[in-house]
Chains A and B, each alone.
Chain A
Amino acid sequence: DQQVKQNSPSLSVQEGRISILNCDYTNSMFDYFLWYKKYPAEGPTFLISISSIKDKNEDGRFTVFLNKSAKHLSLHIVPSQPGDSAVYFCAASGSSASKIIFGSGTRLSIRP
């Protein structure tokens, strides 16, 4: 039972354009959401997070949008750069919990 779903295993975007990575969740108890980025042979790195009391959080080129009614969040990267090529994991947690539930990841490739 996948509580956090990333339905696109891969995405290819031209350098300079916007990358949009999507994530859906099923558990309405989730109220904290995170995005992690992973390069090959390295552990995941925290990128950005959002609490359910917000619908948008921005950090430089990265913006996460949360649509609670649709149980959907997305990560926007603008403009996309070659160094953004990596696997992106969406994750979720309940505020009283300590464990994070991860999605299966989306491999983003930025082409020149």
Chain B
Amino acid sequence: DSGVTQTPKHLITATGQRVTLRCSPRSGDLSVYWYQQSLDQGLQFLIQYYNGEERAKGNILERFSAQQFPDLHSELNLSSLELGDSALYFCASSVGGRVGFGYNEQFFGPGTRLTVL
């Protein structure tokens, strides 16, 4: 158990709909990262928040948005869903905002499996 929680575990919805994925980081971690893993693909970095502010952006679609709340939990909002958005969405957290030097390793949650029909 990494200490990172994600809800829901599974989500099935229809094209055109909007969903919200939730992540609670490990206690004490200030950074939250969101990743997408499509079938047979690696993990694609979407976005990072550090202590409530956006820190880095990856290949995140305009239909997707995220935020980190004062209690440090984060939500990833996916709208106008398409079939191709079906994927595993992982949240990770780390103490600091930068990679490296041991103490900033990212700890991953179990993921939310999104299926768009």
Contacts and interface: CB of A to CB of B under 8 A. Distances in A.
Interface of A: 4, 6, 32, 34, 36, 41-46, 49, 51, 89, 93, 95-105
B86 interface: no
Nearest to B43: A102
Contacts, number: 70
B99 A93 contact: yes
Given A44-B90, A98-B55, A100-B99, 5 more contacts: A43-B111, A49-B105, A99-B99, A100-B45, A104-B40
A105 B42 CA distance: 6
A32 B105 CA distance: 11
Q: Which 3 A-B pairs rank lowest in CB-CB distance, beginning with the nearest?
A: A43-B108, A104-B42, A93-B99
B99 A32 contact: yes
B90 A98 contact: no
Nearest to B88: A43
Nearest to B109: A43
Interface of B: 2, 4, 31, 33, 35, 40-45, 48, 50, 55-56, 58, 90, 92, 97-102, 105-111
Given A43-B110, A89-B43, A98 B98 contact: yes
27 contacts: A4-B42, A34-B105, A41-B110, A42-B110, A43-B92, A43-B111, A44-B43, A45-B2, A45-B108, A46-B107, A51-B100, A95-B98, A96-B98, A97-B98, A97-B99, A98-B97, A98-B98, A98-B99, A99-B33, A99-B56, A99-B99, A100-B45, A102-B42, A102-B44, A102-B45, A104-B41, A105-B42
